[in-house]
Amino acid sequence: MADTQMEEFHGRLRRVAQNRSRGAGFATADTAGGSPRRARRPRRSLLRPALLVLAVFMALKAALLAEIGPADYQGRVERLRDGTAVAAAGAWALQVDPATRWLAGQLHALFAPLQ
């Protein structure tokens, strides 16, 4: 008659062998095998953070345009364009484009009743 504990032990050994053949590891930090293997994290794409920065930048431009008006905004951009190379690059980035103009109109219509 077989001992039930021995049957459980051999069953456990079979399951460990099956799992190891599938690639599962059983190493811990204090075993002779060294530290356990860590699963690799998938590489994250930079697309989502770049789009978030672009959206925030566009919202900032639109808020400035809606607040100070198109004439004053364009005057400030022109003054930037006449400055240093860094200021000229900022003027290029801050120039009014159709998306900024549309978003500024939406923001102005949204916040006009609050003024």
Predicted pLDDT at 28: 58
Question: What is the end-to-end Cα distance of the chain in Å, rounded?
Answer: 90
- The per-residue pLDDT string of the chain (115 residues; one tens digit each, 9 = 90 and over) reads 468 888 888 888 898 888 888 777 656 555 555 555 666 777 888 999 999 999 999 999 999 999 999 999 999 999 999 999 999 999 999 999 999 999 999 998 988 887 7
Q: What is the pTM of this model?
A: 0.59
Structure tokens at 84: 């240093």
Predicted pLDDT at 59: 95
Predicted pLDDT at 21: 80
Predicted pLDDT at 13: 87
Q: Give Cβ neighbours of residue 8 (< 8 Å, ≥ 6 apart).
A: none
Predicted pLDDT at 103: 95
Q: Give Cβ neighbours of residue 93 (< 8 Å, ≥ 6 apart).
A: 57
Structure tokens at 92: 């290029």
Handedness of CA 102, 69, 67, 62 (dihedral sign): positive
Predicted pLDDT at 36: 57
Owner of token pair 């060294």 = 34
Report which DSSP code applies to 27. Answer: -
